[in-house]
């Protein structure tokens, strides 16, 4: 009877009224059995009596949601319990003490059969247009762990992100889309375990479909869905940062959790002697192998279907288009996404590089993908903080990096612009440190990027000197005003809205402590910046988003763009070699709304002559810590090292 219920697809554990179908792809593991565990951890061994194309499967009558299970395989060290790669939940936080032996595998986290019934209360998805999207990169635990007004039981959890205190904050800041750092189950690397540290960021995936249990009070599956539902009810999208480029099993000698035991030579790219490491993390997941491609696509559909996720940011996404040493824009993964009726509707954001050959692929991803624009980051930081004056490059980045992303494909192909990300200095540290201070990571300060393009304004680290503090706050405003009023999708590091410092640590991936936990005890200056940023985000939505919409697609050539000297004259070829004070004029159609950017990179105030035709309204002047609406008409005195944005209807 149950043989008819047994099916090779879908892979994983699939419930029905009569029991559960278990299916696993394991072409290199002929001697594999299903193990079911009861509440006392007693085990029942079940044979996988059916086979098809490297898949072993069976149906087990009477299995209910919550059943703990795994698979038993034989290796040189003995009988090992492995996770189901398709596991949709784990029974505990993954942890082990080195070495991860076959014996130790039986005390490790196990797979859990999951029922995805959930009342979504007919909550619609926000579907925020690209040109209105504000990405807010958020760590589930780190952003709420120290919130002073939140009930302690919710701090650092999925449910913490949807508490009234957080919802009020997100709404006040004008955030449209939370980009969550990895919430898939994660296992810390062996070298961190030896130092009694953890991978706090989560970029070391264990099971692609299982939510990270560290962030749950009781049930990660239900609590994560509750978080998404509540955020959706307040019009906020949820974007998942997801890691498919490598797995937590590392390279040769690394732990064996599943893939290495099931199909060592194919899931993970192999040179014949060792694992190929195009990611810097020990191995490379090979999407040119059909079962690898299948699990990635099944995983994406899983999160969209069962968790109503609005989009994904793909870590080291060049790996997804690899055919070993080469990147292929027409690769199977991209084609599969483009034809999938579910996945082609969500936001797709690529980190368009990895560390392998031909790994830098900015601007080369297919239509329908947005890309993290590190050229914007480097140019804008270099301009404001490092006394670089590449105004041609700055102009290109402000105007949407159209050398890489054609405006004819906007708004769906807008670049994702950013100044700070989880890796690197926070915004506050960019203006407070010249050098990285990563000793807490236990790697003798050798880790982390050396090219930070930061400027401490004369003193390394925290200071009470008011003149230095003023310079730092002004530079923060310069960076964020440039970000918010450039053509593209702005990406904001969540802790930057609180002016959080990591004390100069630019690689705090293993710091599950106050270095990474957002500091909600704000100084007067930090409160001013938080409020200024919220007002600037609102101003972007009101004034900049319509310009992005108008400059996109077939109508992009019907508008006015002029680059001017401070005296109002048009810039010439010589001016583009290093003019310190200049202006950008944007006008819609022949006589529509106008924006004027007054950019003063010099160390002295500069008077600008404004285009005639009526009064201009001041949106912001970054030399001022507050937005002061006022009107001007003929000239404007622009302070040194600052930016003013004007609007005229």
Instruction: Tell me the C-alpha distance between 440 and 510, whole Å.
Output: 9
Mean pLDDT, the chain, whole residue set? 96
Whether 325 is catalytic: no
Residue 338 φ/ψ, nearest 5 degrees: -65, -30
pLDDT at 2 > cutoff 80: no
DSSP 8-state assignment for residue 144: H
pLDDT tens, position by position, 217-255: 999 999 999 999 999 999 999 999 999 999 999 999 999
- Is the per-residue pLDDT at 279 higher than 50? yes
Q: Which of 270, 277, 271, 282 is nearest to 190 (CA)?
A: 282
Q: Start-end ranges of CATH 2.60.40.1180 in the chain? A: 556-648
Average pLDDT (286-292) is 95
What's the confidence (pLDDT) of residue 387? 85
Task: Identify which of 183, 189, 205, 338 has the alpha carbon closest to the alpha carbon of residue 259.
Answer: 205
Interval 153-182: pLDDT, tens = 999 999 999 999 999 999 999 999 999 999
Segments of the chain assigned to CATH 2.60.40.10 = 2-112
The tokens describing 250, both together, are 């590392």
What is the model's pLDDT at position 263? 87
Q: Which two tokens stand for residue 192?
A: 């961190």
* Section 180-190 average pLDDT: 98
Mean pLDDT throughout 533-540? 98
For the chain, first and last CA: distance in Å?
74
User: Quick check: helix, strand or coil at residue 302?
Assistant: helix
What confidence tens digit (pLDDT) does each residue in 98-108 have? 999 999 999 99
Express each pLDDT in 502-531 by its tens digit.
999 999 999 999 999 999 999 999 999 999
Q: What confidence category does residue 3 fall into, taking pLDDT thresholds of 50, 70 and 90? A: low
Residues 6+ apart with CB under 8 A from 531: none
Neighbours of 151 (CB within 10 A): 11
Helix (H), strand (E) at residue 550: helix 545-550
The phi and psi torsions of 427 (rounded to 5 degrees) equal -60, -45
CA distances from 381 to 205, 357, 384, 532 (A): 32, 27, 5, 20
φ and ψ of 115, to 5 deg: -105, 125
Tell me the C-alpha distance between 575 and 392, whole Å.
10
Q: pLDDT at position 645, please?
A: 98
The predicted-structure confidence for 27-49, as pLDDT tens digits, reads as follows: 987 789 999 999 999 999 999 99
> Is-above-0.95 flag for pTM?
yes
Q: Which of 315, 354, 496, 512 is catalytic?
A: 315
Taking only the tens place, the pLDDT of each residue in 340-388 is 999 999 999 999 999 999 999 999 999 999 999 999 999 999 999 998 8
Mean pLDDT across the stretch 102-127? Answer: 97
Is position 315 annotated as part of the catalytic site?
yes
DSSP string, 231-289: HHHTT-EEEEEE--S--TT-STT---SSHHHHHTTTSB-B-SSSB--SSSSS--B-TTS
Could you report the per-residue pLDDT of 305-344, keeping only the tens digit for each? 999 999 999 999 999 999 999 999 999 999 999 999 999 9
The yes-or-no verdict on residue 264 having pLDDT over 80 is no
User: What's the 3-state SS for 458-484?
Assistant: CCCCCCCCHHHHHHHHHHHHHHHHHHH
Q: Quick check: 183 pLDDT over 60?
A: yes
Query: Which of the four CATH numbers 1.10.3720.10, 2.60.40.1180, 3.90.650.10, 1.10.1740.10 does domain 556-648 have?
Result: 2.60.40.1180
CA 217 to chain centre: 24
Report DSSP state, residue 628.
Answer: -
- Check residues 470 and 270 and name the one with the higher pLDDT: 470
Residues 6 or more apart from 188 whose CB is under 8 A from it?
Answer: 95, 197, 198, 199, 204, 510
The answer to whether residue 290 scores a pLDDT higher than 50 is yes
What would the CATH number be for the domain defined by 2-112?
2.60.40.10
With bands split at pLDDT 50, 70 and 90, how would you rate the model's confidence at 265?
confident
Mean pLDDT, rounded, for 110-129: 98
Amino acid 1: pLDDT: 45
Q: How do residues 540-586 score in pLDDT, each as one tens digit?
A: 999 999 999 999 998 888 999 999 999 999 999 999 998 999 999 99
Query: For residue 602, is pLDDT > 50?
Result: yes
Catalytically annotated residue among 84, 131, 351, 354: 351
């Amino acid at each position: 009877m149950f043989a008819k219920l047994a099916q090779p697809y879908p892979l994983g554990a699939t419930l029905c009224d009569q029991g559960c179908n278990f299916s696993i792809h394991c072409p290199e593991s002929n001697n594999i059995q299903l193990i079911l565990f009861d509440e006392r951890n007693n085990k029942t061994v079940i044979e996988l009596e059916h086979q098809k194309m490297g898949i072993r499967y069976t149906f087990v009558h009477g299995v209910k949601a919550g059943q703990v299970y795994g698979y038993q395989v034989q290796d040189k060290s003995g009988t090992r319990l492995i996770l189901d790669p398709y596991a949709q939940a784990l029974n505990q936080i993954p942890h082990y003490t080195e070495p991860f032996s076959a014996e130790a595998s039986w005390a490790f986290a196990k797979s859990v059969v999951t029922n995805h019934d959930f009342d979504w209360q007919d909550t619609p998805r926000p579907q925020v247009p690209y040109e209105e999207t504000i990405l807010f990169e958020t760590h589930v635990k780190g952003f709420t762990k120290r919130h002073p007004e939140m009930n302690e039981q919710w701090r650092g959890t999925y449910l913490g992100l949807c508490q009234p205190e957080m919802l009020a904050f997100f709404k006040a800041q004008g955030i449209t889309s939370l980009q969550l750092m990895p919430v898939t189950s994660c296992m810390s690397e062996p070298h961190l375990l030896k130092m009694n540290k953890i991978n706090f960021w989560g970029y070391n995936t264990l099971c692609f479909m299982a939510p990270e249990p560290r962030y749950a009070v009781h049930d990660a599956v239900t609590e994560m869905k509750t978080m998404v539902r509540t955020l959706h009810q307040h019009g906020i999208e949820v974007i998942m940062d997801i890691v498919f480029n490598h797995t937590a099993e590392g390279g040769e000698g690394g732990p064996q959790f599943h893939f290495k035991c099931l199909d060592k030579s194919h899931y993970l790219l192999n040179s014949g002697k060792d694992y190929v490491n195009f990611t810097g993390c020990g191995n490379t997941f090979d999407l040119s192998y059909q079962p690898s491609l299948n699990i990635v696509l099944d995983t994406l559909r899983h999160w969209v279907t069962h968790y109503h996720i609005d989009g994904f940011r793909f870590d080291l996404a060049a790996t997804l288009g690899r055919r070993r040493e080469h990147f292929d824009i027409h690769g199977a993964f991209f084609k599969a996404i483009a034809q999938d009726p579910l996945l082609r509707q969500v936001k797709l954001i690529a980190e368009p590089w990895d560390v392998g050959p031909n790994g830098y692929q900015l601007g080369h991803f297919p239509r329908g993908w947005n890309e993290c624009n590190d050229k914007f980051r480097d140019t804008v930081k270099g301009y404001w903080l490092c006394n670089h004056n590449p105004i041609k490059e700055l102009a290109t980045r402000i105007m949407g990096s159209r050398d890489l992303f054609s405006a004819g494909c906007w708004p769906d192909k807008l670049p994702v612009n950013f100044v700070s990300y989880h890796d690197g200095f926070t915004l506050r540290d960019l203006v407070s440190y010249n050098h990285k201070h990563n000793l807490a990571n236990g790697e003798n300060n050798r880790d982390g990027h050396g090219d930070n393009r930061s400027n401490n304004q004369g003193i390394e680290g925290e200071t009470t000197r008011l003149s230095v503090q003023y310079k730092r706050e002004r530079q923060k405003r310069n960076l964020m005003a440039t970000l918010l009023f450039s053509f593209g999708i702005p990406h904001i590091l969540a802790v930057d809205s609180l002016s959080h410092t990591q004390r100069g640590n630019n690689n705090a991936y293993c710091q599950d402590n106050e270095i990474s936990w957002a500091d909600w005890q704000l100084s007067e200056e930090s409160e001013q910046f938080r409020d200024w940023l919220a007002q600037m985000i609102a101003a972007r939505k009101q004034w900049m988003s319509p310009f992005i919409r108008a400059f996109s697609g077939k109508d992009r050539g019907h508008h006015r763009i002029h680059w001017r000297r401070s005296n109002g004259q048009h810039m010439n070829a010589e001016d583009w070699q290093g003019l310190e004070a200049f202006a950008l004029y944007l006008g819609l159609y022949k006589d529509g709304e106008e924006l004027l950017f007054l950019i003063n990179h010099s160390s002295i105030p500069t008077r600008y002559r404004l285009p005639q035709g009526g009064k201009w309204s001041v949106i912001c002047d970054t030399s001022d810590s507050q937005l002061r609406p006022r009107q001007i008409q003929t000239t404007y005195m622009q302070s040194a090292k600052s930016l003013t944005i004007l609007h005229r209807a």
